[in-house]
Structure 1
């Protein structure tokens, strides 16, 4: 059955291609400047050098960067025909994606800073809903810099949106994907033009999605009478929805030394999830809630707009000012019907979250010589969140003191920085930075007619030092080192003092440790990390590279969720409650190796230099230890012991056809979450393949399959008293076909 939707999608795309070719003659696209034949006149030599500098490869940009970073442009973004940025990120060396959130250095999602055009991504933003065609490039930095926030213990991923082109651009991409039940269409269109000193780009994309998730679970725990309760469950969920992205940009050259840019980004997504759980009782009395079915619907929309003014002065002076604003809103509704157990129940949830923010930043740069520059800057942000949530069960408020009460939080971030970039000699260069950042979070929670005011304040001083040494003057063999301070601020959700109840167990009775209620902790302190990084990079003449990097982080005031049995205000009996706490310190270290390039250059004894085969691979090893927890698995949360990333693409000589594949593998591991709780995660594997056929320079067809031969991920949580939970999800393969047209 799976073949029919893909065949239909392929037929549709081929028909669209034939229709497009017959309806209009293909417009020849201008040959890239770097491919123009050199003219005999010597006066054109400077022009050729200038053009090549504008079209430097990703590897060349990486080699010239003052701090260690990886840069991925159009070649990597378009390679597999991905419809979302998450699928691009999961194949990058040193990056893995779990639940749509990218992670680096094997650490959890909160340790990796996500930026959009150099600014923090808005709350609720997901890489799953951003089309790679709207992205200019992705920059992955392993160490923090003074210019950007130092909330990057694992590193920073900066998503640079589409920039206005230097010449006319007319692109259209039509896609059809299949994961479950029926095909899902998508499109991306880009219009770019230049009018004298004004250039513009209007990228827009739309998509639909439909997925099917199935899982099996098992819980061996205790009921409210401390008697054994052993149940198994089978769950099935169907999700569907769609969305649209729009990212217009205008660049205006006011003068030879003055520019003004306006960039906006609009995103709207809608989702629906319908699920059913059937539970079998193996031991103990029937629990309060046995079987259930639910329907969850919602929407999320965001608008961000920024102005960027740049002015260059005499004697190497430069001033940049940025002003931005954003607003986002999420609304959702969930209806649940308990179909079994001691008593049928109905539960209804309504939620409405609004986020609004303003940002203002600037920097002043002064040249201190031909290869020495000083920069001073500031970064200001104000964000406000208003949240209302209501949960009713059988027509009555679940928590009368909290349901429907407004929650308000304000975040004020103030930062100042200075950085000094100095090329000491053709072989030595250094970067000094100092950033001071203060974050103040205030919240108001209405309860029982009263308003509770909470405040959390943190101040972090982050000194940074990066040092580069070119073993040869051309910079093809390089050693990088850095000593930095970074931190991880508590998320707003972790600071909220509003409880979330595990409704499987009624508030009139106790709940087991395996099914705790949840609440935030307004007294959390940020995690501080001191880091050391050393890397060796070798760049080959054909564009390939080899790198090996080592890192170490010493983390203070690690945040972890812990479970406590305590008296609570929302129940008449003691309940188990999970809340984030500053547990202890931790250490993490690792080594990451990367190799990529043409096969003939990397392995000349096996491949002819003319072979159109590109290879890439990375291997990473991670170790960590959390103080105060028993070993041997007292590692940082979600950190796998090692990861393997392999890939290739091969261009046939006889046909305009390119084939490729990528494999990401991580082993299973255990994590000691608390002194009494151990989490075990099974191995994971992701195999992606693609084929691209070039009909002409304007038309191409790409077929791809992601998560081929999918594994079924398994998670087990084991408690020291013998209680445990088990969950297994069933993976699926995603097929896609994309037709790209350039006019």
Structure 2
């Protein structure tokens, strides 16, 4: 365990804070101010376009505005993100740089997303733009090895207006309604925006599985299962935003989010025994109620033409109740009730100074406090009761304290530098109630703590070979990390509900689980290089490469061992720091309009635009045998091709196709994972009814295919075939 960083106000830290005249931070939107004073709080100039914000950013950044968000008529952000270049959705979570979603940091308006957050929770109608960055400057947490996705909500309109979006999505069984009503206005110096949303999502698909495993006599038992998967999601939400202008140089901003989510998940199995007595999954019914309250208050003040101070306080509260019941052959065999309370508080202060028209000077500190409390009661209705499998209380905390300094230096009209360093101290703790501690291993403590410190230097260079053009070369060096999760601090093992008899050895694919409070953070040294070229008004080409050198890679390692909660040896999965590894890749994004490709045939009234994205990824984990010892969830390559056209002044048509190859991954020295190729085609049609109203039809996965996922070990194997379905969305937008 590493020694904690001392963040007390020692002379060294005071020197860092008050030497701000030689250190600087990138502006909040990632751009250079270009002058030696701050804008007034009220800005009347026209907002920059997505391309203009991208060009102004010193760090390589992709920005997607309302055109990209609305293109396919997607209702929630999960579907929107799945259509963006370089973003892959894995089990509902977005991932960057070809890495697992755990390496991607998600921000909402620049603040960390709440615990348990999923992209489907955010109504796409509320979002103004999406910022995608492979590397992070020092003014934000460096816990982003894969990159950062910042989802920025719409700002408060400058005049009173009311907007309405209604629609429905259909995949199977019946349509799911959706609607968003927003009223905005101004009362004196107070501006407000009050969006009300309702979304319902209904999805179904089928999974066919062939499972084989060795029994106690070393004979293979084989069974075939067909699972029907049904997911229903209902979510009303309210996300008010207020801006209060105190004077031309000072304002208060508040963004809140209230959401009540109800989820229903159902699994139904048809089983066939081919040989022996194979392990099989149980039918499952699960309903979850998730309540989220999130709010923040931000104060911004221009102290002078060259000095600004910002202070933010945020509070996030989640209460979740989960009920799960399983049945085998119509006979209930397991029931679990879980309650989760998750509270997060965030505080940060930043001071920025502009010096000599060349430096943006800033320093700041952040405090992030998380508290998670879980109580779970499980009943094995057909098995003898194991106390550890019955009741699982859990309490954990995560406290992060950060300080940073950063210098953004505009050397001349061609060269700009960003130098920064960030220090973060993370403290994780967990404890078990005294009444329950006696059931644990007597050699283990009833509480645990883990503390470590991360220093994250960064250097980014932006260079324009020709100052009169927009073409830009960007290079970056930074350090990032992935902290252990608070769930890894859990001291109580989880006995697999499909193998609850602890007098018998379970199957490797039905392993138990235990936490690991001694985990160290994964540390990465990042190198990034990109070149952006712009052609006329509608065309651009971006080519970027990256390299990640990662130490203390964490993975779930499954081993057969003797455990205190069972009389027979058990297969147990536990997160461990087990290897060093590297990841690298190249990402190409090309956007072109017919005006640039075929100027002679171009008709201004009927534009035609093309989009192409190619990504190539590779990685090695040193502790695993090659050649397929890649990091989890990493595709060898992906490709996306899109086209939009406007046959009439009111009608816009478009489509996008995605493809990735089949690949194999060495999970451990005993397990291999295989995934078939993935492909889908999405299309949309938008018709402008009048100057205020638009009708949009979106079709996702027009030609559904079956995807195969396979896992092979020395003692078991599983082959799954998941069927896809076509989804249809119809939305109507209008300004009232």
Matched, 1:461 2:455: yes
Contact 2:172 / 2:204 at 8 angstroms: preserved in 1?
yes
- Residue in 1 aligned with 2:252? 260
TM-score (norm 1): 0.90
Contact 1:345 / 1:393 at 8 angstroms: preserved in 2?
no
- Residue in 1 aligned with 2:32? none
- Residue in 2 aligned with 1:501? 495
Superposed CA offset, 1:347-396 (max 9, x none): 11100011012110010001112131111011101110000111111177
- Residue in 1 aligned with 2:567? 572
- Residue in 1 aligned with 2:723? 730
**Number of residues of Structure 1 aligned to a counterpart in Structure 2:** 687
Distance 1:79 1:291, change over 3 A: closer
Contact 1:513 / 1:563 at 8 angstroms: preserved in 2?
yes
Contact 1:63 / 1:475 at 8 angstroms: preserved in 2?
no
- Residue in 2 aligned with 1:237? 229
Contact 1:279 / 1:291 at 8 angstroms: preserved in 2?
no
Q: Specify the SS of the correspondent of 1:411.
A: strand
- Residue in 1 aligned with 2:632? 637
Q: Specify the SS of the correspondent of 2:508.
A: coil
- Residue in 1 aligned with 2:13? none
- Residue in 2 aligned with 1:57? 49
Contact 1:224 / 1:512 at 8 angstroms: preserved in 2?
no
Q: Distance in 2 between matches of 1:609 and 1:431?
A: 40
- Residue in 1 aligned with 2:400? 413
- Residue in 1 aligned with 2:339? 352
- Residue in 1 aligned with 2:419? 432
TM-score (norm 2): 0.91
Higher relative contact order (CA 8 A, sep 6+): 2
Tell me which of 550, 558, 562 is aligned to 2:557.
Answer: 562
Q: Distance in 1 between matches of 2:281 and 2:305?
A: 74
Superposed CA offset, 1:277-301 (max 9, x none): 12211112x35x6574321111111
Q: Specify the SS of the correspondent of 2:509.
A: coil
Matched, 1:386 2:355: no
- Residue in 2 aligned with 1:103? 95
Contact 1:59 / 1:543 at 8 angstroms: preserved in 2?
no
- Residue in 2 aligned with 1:658? 652
Distance 1:569 1:606, change over 3 A: farther
Q: Specify the SS of the correspondent of 1:514.
A: helix
Distance 1:603 1:536, change over 3 A: farther
Contact 1:130 / 1:245 at 8 angstroms: preserved in 2?
no
Tell me which of 173, 185, 198 is aligned to 1:181.
Answer: 173
The Cα shift of 1:61 comes to 0.8
Q: Distance in 2 between matches of 1:346 and 1:69?
A: 51
The Cα shift of 1:304 comes to 0.7
- Residue in 2 aligned with 1:46? none
Matches within 5 A, 1:169-568: 169-284=161-276, 286-287=277-278, 292-339=282-329, 346-394=333-381, 398-401=385-388, 403-446=390-433, 448-450=436-438, 452-505=446-499, 506-568=501-563
Q: Specify the SS of the correspondent of 1:494.
A: helix
The Cα shift of 1:722 comes to 5.8
The Cα shift of 1:524 comes to 0.8
Contact 2:449 / 2:517 at 8 angstroms: preserved in 1?
yes
Superposed CA offset, 1:550-595 (max 9, x none): 1111000001111111111221110001111111100111111111
Instruction: Return 393-402 or 237-246, whichever deviates more.
Output: 393-402
Instruction: Return 591-600 or 145-154, whichever deviates more.
Output: 591-600
Q: Specify the SS of the correspondent of 1:186.
A: strand
Contact 2:308 / 2:351 at 8 angstroms: preserved in 1?
yes
Tell me which of 80, 83, 89 is aligned to 1:88.
Answer: 80
Q: Distance in 2 between matches of 1:189 and 1:498?
A: 46
- Residue in 2 aligned with 1:694? 688
Gaps of 5+ in 2: 1-41, 439-444
- Residue in 2 aligned with 1:715? 709
Gaps of 5+ in 1: 1-49
Superposed CA offset, 1:237-256 (max 9, x none): 22223002221111011011
The Cα shift of 1:445 comes to 2.1
Instruction: Return 68-77 or 401-410, whichever deviates more.
Output: 401-410
Superposed CA offset, 1:270-326 (max 9, x none): 011222112211112x35x65743211111111111000011012401000001111
Superposed CA offset, 1:30-69 (max 9, x none): xxxxxxxxxxxxxxxxxxxx99953221011100112111
Q: Distance in 1 between matches of 2:295 and 2:568?
A: 50
Contact 1:391 / 1:397 at 8 angstroms: preserved in 2?
no
The Cα shift of 1:657 comes to 0.6
Matched, 1:584 2:579: yes
Superposed CA offset, 1:569-628 (max 9, x none): 221110001111111100111111111132221454775566411111110101111102
